[in-house]
Amino acid sequence: MKTALVTGGSRGIGRAVCVQLARQGCHVVVNYCHGEAAAAETVSLCRAEGAQAVAVQADVSTAEGCKKLFEEAVNAFGRVDILVNNAGVAPVQRLDVLETTAESFERLLRVNTESCFFMCQAGARRMLAGKAQGIPDYRPRIINISSVSAYTSSPSRGEYCVSKAGISMVTKLFADRLAGEGIPVFEVRPGIIQTDMTAGVADKYRRMIEQEGVTPIRRFGQPEDVADQVLAACSGLLDFGTGTVLNADGGFHLRRL
């Protein structure tokens, strides 16, 4: 059975990805860092879809965390077919780029970008080993969740933008390196999505969307909108376009006049 490993699968976008992959018949490894109860709830939701699922605590921003996560995933289900690098954090405090602290910059780069790079590395190694073993029906793939912030300036959270721009390059690097190995790598770019991450600024975003039309599709994105793009990347229909960016942003990426 195909197995999906979703980092930060306990809440928000990651949870929706877990549930939709479970609905597609995957076994699911739900990674979390701090929220054990939320991860257990995601596992229950996946099981309600008829899938097998386990929660694995691991801080993916550390080398030990990445190692532990893959070991426990393989112990649970024997293989990893789909790796979704979704775990991420926003700055604790939004500060103008003239005030950004080294501590916050380092945290964002470590949790958002370094984790993505080394999870891609660990995932690629595991997938190449799986191919060498001749696992049946094995078409592994990696999907990285970045953001419209990868190309959009928000001077009040510059370190987040830099961290997400880094994920775009991580995707390009691994898509290039793994193309010849038959492992496609995709980047999914969410726009403004209703989750805990945006809860503190939800009113501001709702006004920007519904009244000011910052997104051509005038509604708050939902985690399922992002999960749908992940499913598209898992379908096999996009594989000749390794490195492709899939926008889940209500059309935010369009230049408008």
> Taking the CB of residue 37, how many other CB atoms lie within 10 A of it?
9
Question: Using CB under 6 A, which residues numbered 152 to 211 contact ligand NAP?
Answer: 190, 192-193, 195-198
- H helices present in the chain, as ranges: 12-23, 36-48, 63-77, 102-108, 115-133, 158-179, 196-199, 202-210, 223-234
Residue 208 CB contacts under 8 Å (≥ 6 apart), including other chains:
192, 214
* Closest CB to ligand NAP among residues 54, 135: 54
32 makes contact with ligand NAP (CB under 6 A): yes
* Closest CB to ligand NAP among residues 33, 122: 33
Taking CB under 6 A as the criterion, the residue among 87, 120, 122, 175 binding ligand NAP is 87
Beginning with the edge strand found earlier in the chain, give each strand of the sheet holding 245-248 in spatial order. 53-57, 27-32, 3-6, 82-85, 141-145, 185-190, 245-248
12 makes contact with ligand NAP (CB under 6 A): yes
Residue 240 DSSP one-character state? G
* Closest CB to ligand NAP among residues 106, 196: 196
Burial level of 165, CB count in 10 A (0-12/13-18/19+)? Answer: middle
Taking CB under 6 A as the criterion, the residue among 2, 5, 8, 175 binding ligand NAP is 8
* Closest CB to ligand NAP among residues 35, 243: 35
- Segment lying near ligand NAP (by CB under 6 A), choices 21-29, 86-94, 227-235, 237-245: 86-94
> Taking the CB of residue 213, how many other CB atoms lie within 10 A of it?
11
160 is a catalytic site residue: yes
33 makes contact with ligand NAP (CB under 6 A): yes
Using CB under 6 A as the criterion, which residues of the chain lie in contact with ligand NAP when the complex forms? 7-8, 10-14, 31-35, 38, 59-61, 86-89, 111, 145, 147, 190, 192-193, 195-198
